[in-house]
Structure 1
Amino acid sequence: MKKVFLGGTCNDSDWRDVLISALRIDYFNPVVPDWTEECYQRELREREECDYCLYVITPKMTGVYSIAEVIDDSNKRPEKTVFAFLFEDDGITFDVGQIRSLDRVGRMVESNGGNYCKCLLQVADLLNS
């Protein structure tokens, strides 16, 4: 069975729960209560082994490492890289400048050979196909 790495925004965002309910493939959720070096090493292994590496960015994002990861993966393993961002998350929204920047990230992922999805439904359709 195919498997997807669920990277991207954490911070109590529920996008993973929403997507998981729509998936017909296996997944690895890297979110843990206590982030350790062991967790980081497992995440690296899963990114290598999973059939897809998905990165969903939402307005709850506080760090920028997921952006670096998606660009890195779109260069190293474009055929399995998927990027999406959500305009809204639990009432929080991106501003116009952030939306433009994230759209550029998506287009960069696409130009590297990866997939750029516009919503979680499109992500689920792609992963389930």
Structure 2
Amino acid sequence: MKKVFLGGTCNGSEWRDFFIKMLTIDYFNPVVENWTEECIQEEIKQREECDYCLYVITPKMIGVYSIAEVVDDSNKRPEKTIFCLLTYEKDRTTFTNEQWKSLNQVGKMVEKNGGKYFTELYEVAKYLNSKSKYITQFEDYM
């Protein structure tokens, strides 16, 4: 079964909880309560082994390492790299215009490198689920 690495914004963002419910493929969620050296090593291993590496960026982003990861992956492994930029969070937190423009350019860069770029989780799930041999009636779920 295909598997996707769920990278990107943490910091209390709930995108993973929402997104996981839409998936028909396996996934690795790197978010843990206590970040240890073993967790770092497992994340590195999973990024290598997963069929797809998804990086979802939301306005709750405070660090920028996920941006570096997605650009790096889009250069080294474009066929498995997916970038999703979400306009707002559940609590209606949003990016500034300048942040959005800059991050949108990152998405275009990922696409130019051969990766995928989306602005809706639904579209990402539809794309990933289409790669699964266990396709369900996804459209009915929504």
Q: What is the TM-score with the length of structure 2 in the denominator? A: 0.90
Separation of aligned partners in 1, 2:101 and 2:118: 15
Taking the aligned partners of 1:126 and 1:103, their CA distance within structure 2 comes to 20
Cα deviations by residue, 1:18-64 (Å, 9 ceiling, x for unpaired): 11000000000000001111101100000000000000000001100
Q: Does 1:42 align with 2:42?
A: yes
Q: Which residue of 2 aligns with 1:121?
A: 122
Q: CA RMSD in A?
A: 0.6
> Counterparts of 1:1-129 in structure 2 under 5 Å?
1-89=1-89, 90-129=91-130
CA distance in 2, matches of 1:126, 1:21: 15
Question: Aligned with 2:6: secondary structure?
Answer: strand
Secondary structure of the equivalent of 2:5?
strand
Between the two proteins, what is the percent identity of the paired residues? Answer: 68
Aligned 8 A contact 2:87 2:119 in 1: no
Unaligned runs of 5+ in 1: none
State the number of aligned residues: 129
Q: CA deviation at 1:12?
A: 1.1
SS class of match (2:84)? strand
State the distance in 2 between where 1:32 and 1:46 align: 14
Partner of residue 138, structure 2: none
SS at 1:84 equivalent: strand
5+ residue gaps, structure 2: 131-142
Q: TM-score, structure 1 length as denominator?
A: 0.98
Larger CA Rg, structure 1 vs 2:
2
Structure with the larger strand share: 1
Q: 1:102 is matched by which residue type in structure 2?
A: L
SS for the counterpart of 1:54 is strand
SS of the residue corresponding to residue 92 of structure 1 reads coil
